[in-house]
Structure 1
């Protein structure tokens, strides 16, 4: 008898162009976070956002997050929320769609986190209505 584990269910593979963009965005995000100062990473994010054509819908942002999650399964190193959210942000801008990259915190317990938002709603995040994150920085 097998025991069910707390492993996310396998999802279908995203379309090929989304996978290529997600892999490139994850590599770029990891390089930026690990080698560049935060102010340089924020400058890159602001420039990338200026090059977008229109805001992303929640569905489009969800598709980018799903592709990023698929690409992260093959990533050999540590990819925490900062790298993952920046990768989703960059992937969305590479598709020509604007999302907000947010870095924030919450208290009790004290915790920091990074995520993306579309239509002012977090995308791909668990609902923490009892202890919401407060946005410290929005790009």
Structure 2
């Protein structure tokens, strides 16, 4: 979502036991990223129901699994990446806070996940400049 140059993020390939869930999350993230914001939020809220909050370790493990299997998600496709991370967590029984936000100087849009009150895999000095416009947390 961000127009600036984005460094390619990488991770080692995940263990074999995590690969089916990661591949499913990657496959489902692509069509969800093309939904309207209203529909995307509704779907993610539905999926977060009855989940437990993800820990930072779980969210980091999901992020690494997604990046380890898909170079496409290591670049500027933050919306697809963040959705895939959230879905991967959900397949394992938890849900991180899924966020989208904007920065106005210069204008940028970004999507990310948070767990334990901190952004996962994001530079904290850059993420603080984003105003959160949508956040999907665990629904009970």
Pairwise same-fold verdict (TM > 0.5): yes
Q: Distance in 2 between matches of 1:88 and 1:131?
A: 20
Paired residues, number: 129
CA deviations over 1:59-92 (Å, ceiling 9, x no partner): 111000000111222x59x971111101101111
| Gaps in structure 1 of 5+ consecutive residues | 1-5
Other-structure match for 2:14: 14
TM-score by length of 2: 0.80
Spell out, residue by residue over 1:14-43, the C-alpha distance to the aligned partner (whole angstroms, 9 max, x if none): 122322111111110101222x33222211
The answer to whether the 8 Å contact 1:51/1:93 transfers is no
Partner residue in 2 for 1:67: 65
Question: RMSD of the alignment, in Å?
Answer: 2.4
Within-5 A mapping of 1:39-118 = 39-52=38-51, 54-73=52-71, 80-118=77-115
Q: Which has the higher contact order (CA 8 A, sep 6+)?
A: 2
SS in 1 for 2:125: coil
